[in-house]
Amino acid sequence: MVGRIMSVSLVALGVTLAAVGCGGSDPDRPKLGKVTGTVTYKGKPLTKGTVTFTPISGKGEGGDQIASGEIQSDGTYSLTNFDTDDGAVLGQHAVTVRSGEEIVSGKPATPGGPIEYKLPKSSIPKKYESVGSTPLKYTVEPGGKTIDLELKD
């Protein structure tokens, strides 16, 4: 009886391991490299915002497949592409950063009128917000890589 339970348990374990081993890989997806880091501005970590890695045309295996990550309260970020924290496609990227004041709920200018929102003011130089103007360019390679982003005026 104990031998039979052990056999069933080993078969169940084998099926589980096979499913886990095969489930995370999609041959149609481009290869990724894990990317984490810290974002600083004026020597201090940013406490909120978003980091986006956009492949530079013709340089990455994933075409236009962007990856992004939320900046945490300690300034750290981790890129997500298909699955949480899986990284960015391999190749060269233009890196953009957005960080600003949070939008507080708007209110109508007149009773019953449309709600007016004030756009958040950026807390970093605007050049970092656009692929066309960002000076940040990095290459994502296989495996994992720490890319710290130091923003300057």
**Domains, the chain, with CATH or none:** 29-101+116-151 (2.60.40.10)
Average pLDDT over residues 11-21: 39
Q: What is the pLDDT of residue 23?
A: 40
User: Which residues lie below 8 Å from residue 19, measured CB to CB, with a gap of 6+?
Assistant: none
Quick one: pLDDT band at residue 57, thresholds 50, 70, 90?
low
Tokens of 120: 């958040």
Question: Could you tell me if 127 and 135 are in contact, meaning their C-beta atoms sit under 8 angstroms apart?
Answer: yes
Q: Are strands 149-151 and 32-41 parallel, antiparallel or unpaired?
A: parallel
Q: What is the pLDDT of residue 8?
A: 37
Question: Could you tell me if 69 and 80 are in contact, meaning their C-beta atoms sit under 8 angstroms apart?
Answer: yes
Answer whether 0.75 is exceeded by the pTM. Answer: no
Q: Which of 71, 73, 137 is CA-nearest to residue 98?
A: 71
CA distance readout (Å), 122 to 26, 37, 105, 141: 38, 21, 17, 31
CB-count exposure of residue 95 (10 Å: 0-12, 13-18, 19+): buried
- Residue predicted with more confidence, 110 or 152: 152
Instruction: Give the pLDDT confidence of 101-124 residue by residue, as tens digits.
Output: 655 556 656 677 776 666 667 889
Question: Could you tell me if 98 and 50 are in contact, meaning their C-beta atoms sit under 8 angstroms apart?
Answer: yes
